[in-house]
Amino acid sequence: MSPLFVVSFVLIGAVLGAAGGYLLRRYGAAARLASAESEARRILEEARKNADNVKREALVEAREEVHKLRADVEREMRDRRAEVQRLESRLVQKEEAVDRKLESLERKQEEVRAREKELERMREELTRLQQRQMEELRRISGLGREEAREMILNQVRE
């Protein structure tokens, strides 16, 4: 074999080896790049799923918290309404008791006024009767006013 042939064969082998190495390296880099891109897509998708899960969990927790707060507020409102109704009922009862007492006092006041009128009428009647008796006694006995008065008082005492 001729040296030219060997050198050209070695040269062709080196070029083919370099080209094969280049292609292998390029193919390996492309494969690693494709693998890295695939891994990046997988990580991104997993991150999106995790973010969606976290978002869903946060929404569920927020809804539960809102529901709990609403229930607490409704319970508090029911308790306050019940307390207001209880206080209103007590107030109505007290107002009714005051009204009854006022009516009772008004009736008693009317009774006292009626008794006072009756007493005044009786006093006037008694005074009129005393005057009539005094005049009658004076007329009959010819006694003076003081004498007639003493006589009537003695009769009343007996």
pLDDT tens sequence across 113-152: 999 999 999 999 988 888 887 777 666 676 677 777 777 7
- For residue 148, the tally of other CB atoms under 10 A from its CB is 21
Q: Specify the pLDDT at position 110.
A: 95
The amino acid at residue 112 is: V
Task: For the chain, give the percent of residues with pLDDT over 90.
Answer: 44
Assign residue 142 a region: left if phi > 0, alpha if psi is -120 to 50, beta otherwise? left
- Please give the distance of CA 85 from its chain centroid, rounded to a whole number: 12
Whether the CB-CB separation of 116 and 130 falls below 8 Å is answered with: no
Helix axes 145-157, 3-141, angle to 10 degrees: 120
Whether the CB-CB separation of 141 and 148 falls below 8 Å is answered with: yes
Q: What is the chain's mean pLDDT, rounded?
A: 85
d(CA 38, CA 148): 143
- Maximum distance among all Cα pairs of the chain, rounded to whole angstroms: 202
Q: Is the pLDDT of residue 22 over 80?
A: no
Using one digit for the tens of pLDDT, what is the confidence trace for 47-76?
Answer: 888 888 999 999 999 999 999 999 999 999
Q: Specify the pLDDT at position 126.
A: 87
